Amino acid sequence: MSTRTVHIKSFGCQMNKLDTALVAVALGEAGFGLTDSVKEADVVLINTCSVRQHAEQRVLSHLGHLRYIKKTRPDLVVGVIGCMAQRLGVELLENEAVDIVCGPTQIPQIRLLIEKALSEKRKTMAVSEKIRKAAVEKETEALEEFESVHDSDDSQVPAQAYVRAMRGCDKFCSYCVVPYVRGPEMSRPAKAIIEQIKRLADKGIKQVTLLGQTINSYKYTTCGRTYRLADLLSMASEIEGIERIRFITSYPTEDSYDEILQAMAGLPKVCRFLHMPAQSGSDKILKTMNRNYTASKYLEMLDKARDIVPGIAIVGDFIVGFPGETEGDFQRSVSLVEKARYKNCFVFKYSPRPGTTGAKKLQDTVPQEVKKKRNTELLAVQEGISDELSREFQNKTVKILVEGLSKKPHLDTKNGGNQPQLVGRTVTDWIVVFNGPKGLAGKFVKVKIIKTAPLTLFGELT
């Protein structure tokens, strides 16, 4: 029998990128070929995101395109995996283009689901019926095995890999769908995480990013000992071959905060980088969002981070146009961004998500054009700050881990002869563009910064 080929398209966050990498490795091991082209594929999988309506709309329009392709290629199998699969279940299965629906907790079953769809030519679905009920032991075991056997070697970025430390979330921010599609918060065994990093290091991985929706709440107890994130950082630091360790995303809470900052300050391999979303600068809005801190508490936490970890780069997330957000509330977010001095921040327009408290109890009162205006304004404020911070790198030499070819051409490094433009990141996550040989991907190099822009540094190999 000829090899069946699979094309995987991934939407959404790093958790999804990791799931996509795991599915790709698992299918590769099961004898499937992977292809970048839908035309060559026998199976198309779409790994989906439900965090904002826009993300779901993109998937639906992609499915529209696949439905059109299936008119001439009826044997093409289309699978939807991830958060949207869990959220919509049968509704998605009823979509003409869709043959497989598989939730994030069921991805270990993906090979079987594909084989069934290919051989029996009928629709199949695997999602959790009660996602908030702690995953049954069998399901957790299957996920754990899937995760550790298929080391997440994210071949898109050489020498770098994501490692899941936690699954799910228990915070229930009133706008957020994650607890309803990814299930309860659960920390993976510390030993499994560390063993996995060791195997990744043996394969040439130099940078690992530990993932969790609230990674700073990592807590795993076994044989009377409790492991927290600071312990993971310290154990991972011992692993030969690993040179950089990062973790995302942090929730603003004092729990374990000092220990994590001390670990960052004391362990040279731990990147001085903190992604800690504020979401709003208005205490009234933060309360309605069910975020358990105030703007001033949040700023105190940033001060502490800068005291304990000099040179730390901080990244934030904000939502604009949350129900009830007045111009005054929004200006408090502007003021928070001004004070926080983030390296960069992500700004999202509020999108009501079915099933969340926000969608059930709060009216989406802020008009779309106001959300858009606030989004642009907040990003402009941040751009000014990023610009100032980036200028501090002028004429300095930085060590970067090279990711590979730059996706978009930057005119600024045109005089690099025949060398292509490459992109890499500093230890504090600044993007650096420079000209150099393609073979540097996955290697550490030193680059002198000759020009700066708000989100990008331009340099020359030294």
The reply to whether 330 sits near ligand SAM by the rule CB under 6 A is: no
The reply to whether 207 sits near ligand SF4 by the rule CB under 6 A is: no
Which range, of 64-72, 258-266, 344-352, 440-448, touches ligand SAM by CB under 6 A? 344-352
The reply to whether 251 sits near ligand SF4 by the rule CB under 6 A is: yes
The reply to whether 217 sits near ligand SF4 by the rule CB under 6 A is: no
Say how far apart CA 114 and CA 41 lie, in whole Å.
13
Question: Which amino acid, residue 109?
Answer: Q
Distance of closest approach, residue 389 Cβ to ligand SF4, in angstroms = 25
Say how far apart CA 121 and CA 34 lie, in whole Å.
21
Q: Which of 239, 297, 229 is nearest to 264 (CA)?
A: 229
DSSP labels, 179-239: HHHS-S-EEPPHHHHHHHHHHHHHTT--EEEEE-TTGGG-EEEETTEEEEHHHHHHHHHTS
Distance of closest approach, residue 173 Cβ to ligand SF4, in angstroms = 3
The reply to whether 288 sits near ligand SAM by the rule CB under 6 A is: no
The reply to whether 180 sits near ligand SAM by the rule CB under 6 A is: no
The reply to whether 169 sits near ligand SF4 by the rule CB under 6 A is: yes
The reply to whether 178 sits near ligand SF4 by the rule CB under 6 A is: yes
Which of ligand SAM, ligand SF4, none does residue 52 bind to, with CB < 5 to 8 Å depending on kind? Answer: ligand SAM
Distance of closest approach, residue 261 Cβ to ligand SF4, in angstroms = 20
Which of ligand SAM, ligand SF4, none does residue 389 bind to, with CB < 5 to 8 Å depending on kind? Answer: none
The reply to whether 15 sits near ligand SF4 by the rule CB under 6 A is: no
CA 26 to chain CA centroid, Å, is 20
Site string for ligand SAM, 247-286 (x = CB under 6 A): --x-x-------------------------x-x-------
Which of ligand SF4, ligand SAM, none does residue 353 bind to, with CB < 5 to 8 Å depending on kind? Answer: ligand SAM
Q: What are phi and psi of 363, to 5 degrees?
A: -80, 135
What is the rounded (10 degree) CA torsion for 362, 363, 364, 370? -110
For tokens 């980036």, what's the residue? 390
Closer residue to ligand SAM in complex, CB, 124/249: 249
Which range, of 18-26, 167-175, 306-314, 337-345, touches ligand SF4 by CB under 6 A? 167-175
Q: What are phi and psi of 295, to 5 degrees?
A: -60, -40
The reply to whether 358 sits near ligand SF4 by the rule CB under 6 A is: no
Count CB atoms within 10 A of the CB of residue 95: 18
The reply to whether 317 sits near ligand SAM by the rule CB under 6 A is: yes
Q: What are phi and psi of 170, to 5 degrees?
A: -115, 10
Closer residue to ligand SAM in complex, CB, 268/355: 355
Closer residue to ligand SF4 in complex, CB, 125/229: 229
Closer residue to ligand SF4 in complex, CB, 350/393: 350
For tokens 């009216």, what's the residue? 363
Q: Which of 67, 69, 172, 189 binds ligand SF4 (CB under 6 A)?
A: 172
Closer residue to ligand SAM in complex, CB, 125/305: 305
| DSSP designation for 132 | T
Which range, of 176-184, 195-203, 295-303, 344-352, touches ligand SF4 by CB under 6 A? 176-184
The reply to whether 186 sits near ligand SF4 by the rule CB under 6 A is: no
CA 31 to chain CA centroid, Å, is 28
* Residue 265 DSSP SS3: helix
Q: Which residues contact 248 (CB under 8 A, 6 or more apart)?
A: 14, 209, 210, 211, 212, 215, 275
Residue 17, token pair as written in the block: 């990128």
Question: Which amino acid, residue 277?
Answer: P
DSSP labels, 351-363: ---TTSHHHHHS-
Distance of closest approach, residue 279 Cβ to ligand SAM, in angstroms = 6
* Residue 306 DSSP SS3: helix
The reply to whether 393 sits near ligand SF4 by the rule CB under 6 A is: no
Which helix or strand (DSSP H or E) is residue 128 part of? none
The reply to whether 171 sits near ligand SF4 by the rule CB under 6 A is: yes
The reply to whether 346 sits near ligand SF4 by the rule CB under 6 A is: no
For tokens 């690993």, what's the residue? 242
DSSP labels, 41-74: -SEEEEEE--SSHHHHHHHHHHHHHHHHHHHH-T
The reply to whether 125 sits near ligand SAM by the rule CB under 6 A is: no
Q: Interface with ligand SAM by CB under 6 A: which residues?
A: 13, 51-52, 175-176, 178, 213-214, 249, 251, 277, 279, 317, 319, 348, 350-351, 353
Q: Interface with ligand SF4 by CB under 6 A: which residues?
A: 169, 171-173, 176, 178-179, 213-214, 251
